[in-house]
Amino acid sequence: MKSAIVLQHTPTEGPERVATLLAERGIRFETLALHAGEPVPDEIGRDRLLIVMGGPMGVGDVGNPQFPFLAPEITLLRRLIARDAPILGICLGSQLLAAAAGARVYPNTRPGPDGKPVAAREVGWGTVDLHNVVEPALAGLPAQPPVLHWHGDTYDLPAGAVHLASTPVCRNQAFRLGTRAFGLQFHVELERETVATWVREDADYVRDALGPEGGARILADTDRHYAAARPIWDRLLGNILSAMQ
């Protein structure tokens, strides 16, 4: 039986729907709470999947003693990429995967009113445009599936990667590297109640991105969209888990 290791960077960004889908497939998993001091493994067995979750820190924080796990994660991912190991990186996890593959990771920007770049954060409900219609990981999905965005950084597409999704604000939203490594910049792993937790605990970030009514808007959009979105999210995650095995 295959098994999985989940690398978690913060208490509120766990595997959630990924954990449910792993269990449905009979795949045992172990979650390592890196934020609580559990060490990053030096290696992952060839019969194991690696799931790398999100977090408020970024690749730019590598070397910051507050986040000692980031550099070892990139080292581990680089080693796994070299042997086409099965990896799923979500949000920060996708950025770490891109960095391990040699791509640049940096703050996302857009032209401001004076033409100078300003921060372009994607926060809240939206869609992504899917690009590779023959990609098995995208089978059965609508052309513009609903997702939850929650990021301010982006990355260049790693060399040799297959580009899977984009938005007008952020070109590189998803990719496949090799045959079994996937990066998703957006969130499709969340249980409904977690969205409200993020709105509450990340209130300053939401307000900076969306204004004073941003949190209320995300909660209202969750009420409108979550029930229809979750089967689509599960389909995408299920496709990816199948491709990883």
pLDDT of residue 1: 59
Q: What is the pLDDT along the chain (245 residues), one digit of tens a residue?
A: 589 999 999 999 999 999 999 999 999 999 999 999 999 999 999 889 999 999 999 999 999 999 999 999 999 999 999 999 999 999 999 999 999 999 999 999 988 889 889 889 999 999 999 998 799 999 999 999 999 999 999 999 999 999 999 999 999 999 999 999 999 999 999 999 999 999 999 999 999 999 999 999 999 999 999 999 999 999 999 999 999 98
**The CATH number of domain 3-244 is 3.40.1390.10:** no
Cα-Cα-Cα-Cα torsion 67, 70, 41, 86, nearest 10 degrees, comes to 140
Q: What is the pTM of this model?
A: 0.97
pLDDT of residue 200: 97
Nearest to 77 by CA among 213, 177, 185: 177
Strand-pair category, 117-119 with 109-111? antiparallel
Domain edges within the chain: 3-244
Which residue's entry shows tokens 């595997």?
15
pLDDT of residue 6: 98
